[in-house]
Structure 1
């Protein structure tokens, strides 16, 4: 059975960072879904003629987009989101590590994984890339919860063998072996993909980084995710720990952890060599704007999007919102502080295809291209009185959607579809 989903369907044939933003998108009147995939987009009469027996679901003048893609988050930190008063290293010691220590319990891990995905879907996010904890149980819970919802997700065991509490440390060998076993179990199971996951250089010895670099070399189709240059005191710490390294990125590069399928979260305080090497290798950086402001990290340079893949992410729970709308708003505000007003097309693209490209998954998610998985979010562009009165006076689609980007929350999410199936509210 084919379903025609009607509304203002916004597709991006071009990258708005390389094409004039207003020319990068096109509006359609319907998107066709069949067997969990996009079967086409176009004018309503043409789509009805093409799919004469299709069932129709009419969302009126709501905006229909690919489901949001969150390229960097920590589902085990769901319960500690919006915790007060810490910067990165204190945040880890005060909030993160005590919370993550509980994930040896499969029941607790399953409960939080399910809650995290429920919250994500309520905010229109249909795909996420998450750090788990050192516990294999946390990885099993994440992929099982996503599999029950048929969601496309990424995740991996977070590896740490120093500068962490004793109950959150593994070793170079166990990091490699457990990651390899989890990769064999979950990579390609359903819509799940495994990600090799050293937390960051300060919590991994050179031996552990090398072991995970070797694992990545054995499985080059996997992604690898870690953190890079989030805060200045973190960078100083890395210099002390790796005195022979040229810079922070070199601590990964020297151990086989720099490559095209690498995801480097934050990447705020980059040196020129680091920028050049990330661009040369085709690696992706992931912008986490609500986290960067909430824990005082700094202002990301969106100019990097002209040189390399850039994803967008909530960074739950260092990030202060589960909403990719709020995340887009924060990205806009940070760019303003750096002298650039990001066009709404760029913000929406970052939260969909941009993040999908960072995950090397734009052939599956983040777009409305024919054959892509039918993950969709439907936005009410008049979800609150304040938003409605502004969008009512909009001269074009960008003026209509921008108030929802800046002021919207889960109330703006009118419907969500995962693999063509509407998610119950």
Structure 2
């Protein structure tokens, strides 16, 4: 009977006792205790770079500054919008070339603000420093610092105005500009007659008189260019300058808007028939030039006096304008009424009676003389010269009225208390009323 042969491990293989480490026997109490978990592996700490540390610090500083600025701006915003110390509306003049700090001092002195440093800081924060404008400004009662800055930045300066009536000569216009105390400076030379457009011109304090003259000249050129382009093709006037000359005569003959085109039509008809214009205002201008008025009525011998402007003597138009006509007068000459009228005379209502024939005109003259006879008083006629012809530029016997007889129409614009050029409130667009006259 064979038995199993006992195998022996190779010599190089460790024995079972060598493969399993021997553990010391534990007591029953230790055996039932859980085994402790192994400790975690140690964390490796990375070394921070220098740039990262700097960036982190800067970000922290920036955030802190931003919070401080927002908080500070909120406080400033509350202060600048608070009601100011001004008790009532006030006008303050800010001179030209004034710095922000100087503006702040001016507003402090005028009682508009009480914190000039706050004014400067807020103007700087809002990037408005250097944009504050000079001029004359009105600040309302209780104006805050922010509102004061807005007023100066938006440039809402107070505007003044100068009114130049139609029919003034260039010398008279200059006199009116020099009477205005808000305007400054001198005018280099008297503008040529008929190159200024009468109107109401607005300006800020500090504007020069030369600037107003330049504005009037530019406005005249623009208006004349537009009107000349729209003129009637049948006009006997050949140049824009001739249109201005005739418009100046129309302007001096009537101030009524509803008559201008008809008065212009009379002169156009006379030019086409080669008749003398016979306009009294041309006599006056030939005698006194740019001064504009005689200070009295026209004398009989002055009607026949030969001057380049006297249209009772010369043929056609005078060599230049006798005043500065307005836009309406130039429009009237460019597109006159199409009538056969050759004459006009005052009708007693502030207007004129027109006639196509000399006989009809004579009847109108007789009617006018009857009207002025009923109005006559002893205080309005100078008896020192019984041969004086008092037919002046506004009363108006009109073209062809020199009949050899004495006319009694009064020249309302020649140096009397009713002179529209002396009375600043006179409206040249309204009817001109003939003053009362006396019997000779």
Q: TM-score, normalised by structure 1?
A: 0.21
Higher helix proportion (structure 1 or 2): 1
Q: TM-score, normalised by structure 2?
A: 0.21
Higher strand proportion (structure 1 or 2): 1
Bigger CA radius of gyration:
2
Larger RCO (CA under 8 A, 6+ residues apart): 1
